[in-house]
Chain A
Amino acid sequence: MNTPFKLPSAARVRRFAADNVVVLIFLFVTAIAVPSSKLSGTYIIQDLLTRYGRNAFLVFSLLLPIMAGMGINFGMVLGAMAGEIGLIFAVDQGIAGVQGLLYAVLVGAPIAILLGWIAGQVLNRARGREMVTGYILGFFMDGVYQFVVLYLMGAIIPITSKAITLSRGYGIRNTLGLDSVRQSLDKLLMLKVGPFTLPMATYLVIALLAIFIVWFRRTKLGQDMRAIGQDQTVSHSAGIPVERTRIVAIVISTLLAMVGQIIFLQNMGNMATYNAHRQTGFFAAAAILVGGASVAKATIPNVLVGVGLLHLMYIVVPPAGARLFGSAQIGEYFRDAMSYAVIALALALHAWRKRANAESARAGLRGAASGAVDPAKTEGGAA
């Protein structure tokens, strides 16, 4: 007997579309932009491979706070600032190559841990509003960073290289050349596959981070984070140190963001001293959300898909804009607008789903309550 072919119901399709609306919109836009850009497949793939190495680590740093129920850690810019301070010292000390990157990580690590701990403390006091608090905390710390880099470095904090100091004698220049560490990780192990060059050392570092995250989720601390992400009250009742675990999640995220920013900047080869970190959280958040993550749930595939999709759009939209509208600038504006729209849409969807779930749960309770009352009525009626 033939089993009749069962078409997915309209509700199921609607559910799928609602769950993946961000990904679908992105796929749609990119599908239009790719042929319009007239870029060759080889060029797009090579650029994507480079951008994976450059950005994936940063996006991975968002996973743990999401797992711990703290949403997207927009406070990751604190880690990015720590990485930049590390790089300033590496350049000032004239430490080049991979050793320069390691030196930057070692200098940046204690700063990132301290900043992460401060962020964790603040976010614990702003429970339920972690994302907006982290975002504003980033702005606040940006001011502190500017004060340190603009006024203290060279005046109180010793900076020996005049090449990176402002002509007035203290403060760091607006643009810092990272020639001494430029692509030193990428070029450590280059693999040529056909027309493509793959920065295998960078991929290896990213793969190690992914393995670490998989392992970490299975540890006691990782399980605690997941439990806290599901329900803080129950976790607290179960004896999990909720506040401490949330702080650990933010500290690890800040540390990873610090390393991620160093990997990002070594690939770029120069650093906008006062601006490089400002958009870090925004790009990373857009990437992970485009990959299908939500502010409550994110996985490693979300990161990989998101980095690919977002950067595919970044590659093809400006040339597509130039061809369709005669100005690449329109494409630039469009891709920025799309990235912001994705974040806004994901946040709105999260709020909508949360409310819908709460309403459905309430409706379920009402149903149960009426179910409990109805028999009495029935009995009464029967009587």
Chain B
Amino acid sequence: MSAKEVSGAKAPLRVGTRRAAALVLVAAAYLGAGAWAMLTGKSHTILVDNKPVAGLEAFRLVEVAVGRQEPVELGRGERDKFAVQGQRHRVKIDLMNGTEPVTTTIVLPYDAKMVLLSLPKLAAGVEPAWEPFETGQDAPPPAADELPEELFGAAIDPAPPESVGD
């Protein structure tokens, strides 16, 4: 009599079901963790821009903060940047003239690496206040970061030495 017959036909099925359930749980946790990491960890650069745009005047002096980061002060026509993670961000604009600071939330698209956020537009409630910003160049390569020498063919297979003659 085999061990399976002794233990009964239902036992392997139960083990199989339990294993399948565990696998489903692991797969769900894996996908869930991956989705969380991608959505909350995706980095973006927000350029905060205090320039006149679409008939809106730039502010004389403004203090702007994104999320919990340190606020920056911008004069008329100035621009600065914030490196952020995730898509939803609270932006606080203080016009520094005694009025209540304007606080608003912006949602960035997942694939936007860099956006230009117009402060006059944001303060005036114009939607969307941001637009994608393309630099046209993507980190020009420093020569030192090219391939290591030993990966070049010359190092692996050196040219034969010139004949020296007798």
Interface residues of A (CB under 8 A from B): 93-100, 102-103, 106, 109, 146, 150, 161-163, 166-167, 171, 173-175, 180, 272, 274-275
B41 and A167 contacting across the interface, CB-CB below 8 Å:
no
Q: A102-B33, A106-B30 are in contact. Are A96 and B41 (CB under 8 A)?
A: yes
Residues of B within 8 A of A102 (CB): 33, 36-37, 41
A106 and B34 contacting across the interface, CB-CB below 8 Å:
yes
Interface residues of B (CB under 8 A from A): 30, 33-34, 36-38, 40-44, 83, 85, 113, 138-139, 141, 144-148, 151
Please report the C-alpha to C-alpha distance between residue A146 and residue B85 in the assembled complex, in whole angstroms.
31
Residues of B within 8 A of A146 (CB): 151
Please report the C-alpha to C-alpha distance between residue A173 and residue B145 in the assembled complex, in whole angstroms.
6
A106 and B33 contacting across the interface, CB-CB below 8 Å:
yes
- Considering only CB atoms, which chain B residue lies closest to A274 in the complex? B148
Residues of B within 8 A of A163 (CB): 138-139
Residues of A within 8 A of B139 (CB): 162-163
Cβ contacts A to B, 7 pairs, < 8 Å: A93-B38, A96-B43, A102-B33, A150-B151, A161-B138, A175-B144, A274-B148
B148 and A174 contacting across the interface, CB-CB below 8 Å:
yes
A99 and B40 contacting across the interface, CB-CB below 8 Å:
yes
Q: Which of A95, A166, A173, A174 contacts B37 (CB 8 A)?
A: A95
- Considering only CB atoms, which chain B residue lies closest to A270 in the complex? B145
Residues of B within 8 A of A167 (CB): 141, 146
Residues of A within 8 A of B42 (CB): 93-96
Residues of A within 8 A of B146 (CB): 166-167, 173-174
B141 and A173 contacting across the interface, CB-CB below 8 Å:
yes
- Considering only CB atoms, which chain A residue lies closest to B113 in the complex? A94
Residues of A within 8 A of B113 (CB): 94
- Considering only CB atoms, which chain B residue lies closest to A163 in the complex? B139
B99 to chain A, nearest CB (A): 35
Residues of B within 8 A of A97 (CB): 41, 85
B63 to chain A, nearest CB (A): 25
Residues of B within 8 A of A103 (CB): 34, 37-38, 41
Please report the C-alpha to C-alpha distance between residue A100 and residue B86 in the assembled complex, in whole angstroms.
12
